[in-house]
């Protein structure tokens, strides 16, 4: 299995998740990540999410990310990530 970067994420409810970075890209100066909460290669219906980097606050050592929620932005980014991954069909 290919080694993937893992990013810790805390939801608004305080739930801690480990998200696996499947792909990343930069569009108009904004970093975007395609992430999944599992890397089960047997499962063809893995849930994926698109996250975007938020502006870093002064003194922060690491970048912060939030889930993309705008439907138009999700549709556009989904197409970009499908092209980058070639053999993956992304349904958002």
pLDDT confidence tier of residue 1, bands split at 50, 70 and 90: very low
User: Comparing C-alpha atoms, which of 90, 87, 38, 31 is closest to residue 64?
Assistant: 31
Instruction: Report the alpha-carbon distance of residue 84 to residue 23 in Å, rounded.
Output: 8
Q: What DSSP element (H or E) covers 4? A: none
30-46 pLDDT, tens digit each: 999 999 888 766 656 77
Is the pTM higher than 0.95? The answer reads no
CB 4 within 8 A of CB 21: yes
């Amino acid at each position: 299995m290919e080694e993937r970067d893992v990013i810790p994420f805390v939801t608004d409810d305080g739930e801690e998740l480990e998200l696996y970075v499947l792909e990343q890209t930069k569009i108009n100066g904004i970093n975007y990540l395609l992430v999944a909460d599992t890397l089960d290669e047997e499962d063809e219906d893995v849930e994926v999410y698109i996250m975007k980097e938020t502006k870093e606050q002064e003194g922060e050592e690491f970048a912060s990310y939030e889930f993309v929620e705008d439907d138009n932005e999700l549709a556009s980014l989904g197409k970009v990530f499908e092209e980058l991954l070639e053999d993956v069909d992304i349904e958002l």
